[in-house]
Amino acid sequence: MLKTGYLSILKVAFPLMVGNFVQSIVLITDMAFLARLDSVSFDAAGNAGLLYVTFYMIAAGFGDSMQITKARFIGRNEVSVIPRFFQTGVLSLLLLALVFYLILSQVMPGLLLDYSYSSAIAEAQGEFLGIRSFALFFSLSSLALMSFLMATGKTQIVFVSSILMSTVNIILDYGLIFGELGLPKMGLEGAALASVLAEVTVFIFLLFYFLLRKWIREYNLFKNFHFDLHALKTLFSIGWPLMLQGCITLGTWTVFFSWIEQMGGHNLEISQNIRSIYFLAFVPIFGFAATTKTYISQFIGADRIGEIPLVQRRIQLLVTVTLLIFFHGAILYPDFLISMINPNEVVLGDSVYIIQQVAPAIFVFGLTSVYFNTVAGSGNTMASLAIEAISTGVYLSSAYLFIYILQWDIVGIWYVEYIYFATLGIVSLVYLRFFNWTKTGRIA
């Protein structure tokens, strides 16, 4: 069982944070490489990448249900049922990968050409997705493996796999985008291919780890591998709200950036700079989000409800401190960070101003995300879906008002971040205060 001490919490969260940090560095490096290629590639990769991540986050919702379910069974000491949930989850994610691949590679390019303001950016997005979408088969398989590791609190290997993927991605990005290291010069398509090959490398690494580690073999995860309908019903009953939630969360940001694209390439380039810097803040926030879900689910399973408020406070303190470490540059030296990503001085001034103005909202998000992930970790995924739907509904309505009705400039539009993060926190707190969430999230 997990312990409530700061060091115990950090032991679970730190590998996830470092893994997220390395992945954020990869994203920043990708954008920096492409910014030095041309602005069309820079903008196309940013928007196409959001589309890919949106579909990935839908699957991640199902992966979260695998994590929550297995953590609950571990808390109850009912580990014998874990293999059939794991095996059913793996097969389900592979089916999702096939469906999402067909949508992104065959359907989405045509839709982008019909909708986008810039045909050049739309065509480039289609070319990027045609290659990048193939990675789904490997990234979703890795997601299934990592859900087990996070449920057990053994997150160190997640960190190692992140380091491996990032290293491979950066090296291949440099080689395939610019034609260095004896590799062909492929430009934007080279960035997509580098990501695919990095995902393949990580999946192979994780698979061998699972097959060779004795403590994992003792769970019999791969014995009599089969699909179990009851396990699917349980996973889906918990996971479908999380899947829809992931679609809403990233889909909302995708819509927001598509509206920005309608305002012209200059505003889109500024917003892509802000998005890239944001991923530094997501390092501790996402790391502690996964940690919160594991703690809450295990503690409810072990009937340690009274210790949950203590865990919440300690995670909030830790996420605030680590945000100061990872995100302080957005406040103190944003011009340096942004110029590393995009050397275009035309967009530097507005990018610096916006990131300094919205940086405090990120700290609000760090605190409110603990409450939101408490709801998800308790198994009340319908409630977490409702909270996300309300928050993103307010967010999109505000963004539409700012962009199309009031016609604010790009600086004013980005204040919408305060509205989203505050709404998420308020609605989560209302639910935790007035609903019996420790009883309604039971997993059978």
CA–CA dist 112, 258 (Å, integer): 10
Residue 376 near residue 232, CB atoms below 8 Å = no
Quick one: how far is CA 88 from the chain centroid?
A: 23
In-domain check, residue 221: yes
Contacts 24+ apart (CB under 8 A), 106-113: 108/51
426: left (phi over 0), alpha (psi -120 to 50) or beta: alpha
- Closest to 60 measured CA to CA, from 96, 84, 26: 96
Quick one: how far is CA 119 from the chain centroid?
A: 28
Within 10 angstroms of residue 195's Cβ, the number of other Cβ atoms is 27
CA–CA dist 101, 79 (Å, integer): 33
In-domain check, residue 296: yes
Residue 340 near residue 327, CB atoms below 8 Å = no
Residues 6+ apart with CB under 8 A from 106: none
In-domain check, residue 241: yes
In-domain check, residue 385: yes
Residue 265 near residue 404, CB atoms below 8 Å = no
In-domain check, residue 343: yes
Token digits for 20? 């997220």
Task: Decide: helix, strand or coil at residue 226.
Answer: coil
Token digits for 246? 């992931």
Residue 128 near residue 48, CB atoms below 8 Å = yes
Quick one: how far is CA 68 from the chain centroid?
A: 17
**What is the domain extent for residue 296?**
6-440
In-domain check, residue 12: yes
Q: Specify the pLDDT at position 142.
A: 93
Q: Specify the pLDDT at position 152.
A: 82
Q: Specify the pLDDT at position 444.
A: 52
CA–CA dist 294, 70 (Å, integer): 9
CA–CA dist 81, 230 (Å, integer): 11
CA–CA dist 414, 432 (Å, integer): 29
Residue 75 near residue 153, CB atoms below 8 Å = no
From first to last of its 444 residues, the chain has per-residue pLDDT tens of 677 788 888 888 877 777 666 666 767 777 788 888 888 888 888 888 878 888 888 898 898 889 888 877 887 887 788 888 999 999 999 999 999 999 999 998 888 887 777 788 889 989 999 999 999 999 999 999 998 888 887 778 887 888 898 889 999 999 999 999 999 999 999 999 999 999 999 999 999 999 888 888 878 888 888 898 998 998 988 888 888 877 887 788 888 988 998 888 889 889 988 988 888 888 889 889 888 988 888 888 788 888 889 999 999 999 999 999 989 999 999 999 899 888 888 888 999 999 999 999 999 999 999 999 999 888 887 898 899 999 999 999 999 999 999 999 999 999 999 999 999 999 999 999 998 887 655 455
Task: Report the half-sphere exposure of 218 (CA within 13 A, side-chain side).
Answer: 4
Residues 6+ apart with CB under 8 A from 268: 43, 46, 47, 257, 260, 261
In total, how many domains does the chain have?
A: 1
Q: Specify the pLDDT at position 362.
A: 94
Task: Decide: helix, strand or coil at residue 410.
Answer: helix
Q: What H or E segment, with its residue span, contains residue 286?
A: helix 265-301
User: Sign of dihedral through CA atoms 230, 440, 83, 96?
Assistant: positive
CA–CA dist 123, 386 (Å, integer): 36
In-domain check, residue 302: yes
Q: Specify the pLDDT at position 20.
A: 64
CA–CA dist 322, 318 (Å, integer): 6
Q: Specify the pLDDT at position 40.
A: 86
Q: Specify the pLDDT at position 333.
A: 92
CA–CA dist 444, 441 (Å, integer): 10
Q: Specify the pLDDT at position 241.
A: 84
CA–CA dist 323, 327 (Å, integer): 5
In-domain check, residue 1: no
